Amino acid sequence: MANVPADLKYTRSHEWVRVTGDVATVGITDHAQRELTDIVFCETPAPGKSLKAGDAAAVVESVKTASDIYAPVSGEVVETNRALADHPALVNQDAFGQGWFFKLKLANPAELAGLLTPEQYAAQISGH
């Protein structure tokens, strides 16, 4: 099966969410970074920015294309991954770890229930 960590929630647009207390860390999935190929630029949202679920929050550019990264849940940006500015390839190397994009203080934790489970996301990317 594809690399789909069991401790995360997922979106249909290939973002992942790891919740610790009332903070959600957001990145793109291993599947998404493989589809994009070599990532050459990442733009993250400014700390303090308020986002609603579904808002375009960040940008990732690869040698093939540029894509928006969407906020999976609503909240306020409390931290961004500054390392991505100098090392965007971290997303390719460690999509579920050092390649995270931003952290949100959850505005509505109930929104997490609307995200995909690891099993649902694995089924989506396998075409089942």
In a domain, 126, yes or no: no
Q: How much is the pLDDT for 107?
A: 98
In a domain, 119, yes or no: no
pLDDT surpassing 90 at residue 35: yes
Mean pLDDT of the chain: 96
Q: How much is the pLDDT for 2?
A: 61
In a domain, 2, yes or no: no
Q: How much is the pLDDT for 3?
A: 85
CATH number at residue 27: 2.40.50.100
Residues 66-118: tens digit of each pLDDT: 999 999 999 999 999 999 999 999 999 999 999 999 999 999 999 999 999 99
Angstrom distance (rounded) from CA 95 to CA 86: 16
Domain encompassing residue 20: 9-108
Q: How much is the pLDDT for 128?
A: 64
In a domain, 60, yes or no: yes
pLDDT, average across residues 9-34: 97
User: Cα–Cα distances in Å, from 23 out to 3, 76, 77?
Assistant: 23, 9, 9
Angstrom distance (rounded) from CA 63 to CA 19: 31
pLDDT surpassing 50 at residue 62: yes
Total domains, the chain:
1
Q: How much is the pLDDT for 32?
A: 96
Q: How many percent of the chain have pLDDT more than 70?
A: 98
pLDDT surpassing 70 at residue 1: no
In a domain, 76, yes or no: yes
Radius of gyration of the chain (CA): 13
Q: How much is the pLDDT for 29?
A: 97
In a domain, 85, yes or no: yes
In a domain, 59, yes or no: yes
Distance of CA 81 to the CA centre of its chain: 12
In a domain, 29, yes or no: yes
* Under 8 Å between Cβ of 102 and 26: yes
